[in-house]
Amino acid sequence: MIKPLSPVLFLADDKKSKTGDPTEDEYEIMIPMGLFPELPYGNMIRMFNEEEARQHKPLGIGYGISFKHAVILGDKHCQGFWIRVTGYRYIKNSPQARMMMEATGDFYLAVQFYEKF
């Protein structure tokens, strides 16, 4: 049986935070060819720098106990997420993430996702 295609999350060793701060990890998400008809050649989603973020439209914010969790919630709450998202940036010192952390005792991070204008 062939396993269905799905997005793949990567964290290369040279992109892992040197300080241990998870908001410095630079993940890449590969959307394989053929997964969505709108993306016939697939897509690569990566962390944007400030200049790249200004050149894109904010799509939404995912809050999660890990980057993967924030991405899963982004997909769950945004119609056409995988087709629309082009990049992301971490939101450092997010009041909402801090509030969730205080309420649950778990670490939370905030990830802003972007799409093309």
Domain boundaries, the chain: 8-115
30 forms beta bridges with 8, 44
Q: What average pLDDT does range 55-73 have in this prediction?
A: 96
Q: How far apart are CA 67 and CA 75, in angstroms?
A: 12
pLDDT at 38 over 80: yes
Asked if the model's pLDDT at residue 4 lies above 80, the reply is no
Q: Which residue has the higher pLDDT, 17 or 96?
A: 96
Strands of 8-10's sheet in order across: 8-10, 28-31, 43-47, 85-91, 109-115, 57-64
66 burial (CB, 10 Å; 0-12 / 13-18 / 19+) is: middle
CB 84 within 8 A of CB 39: no
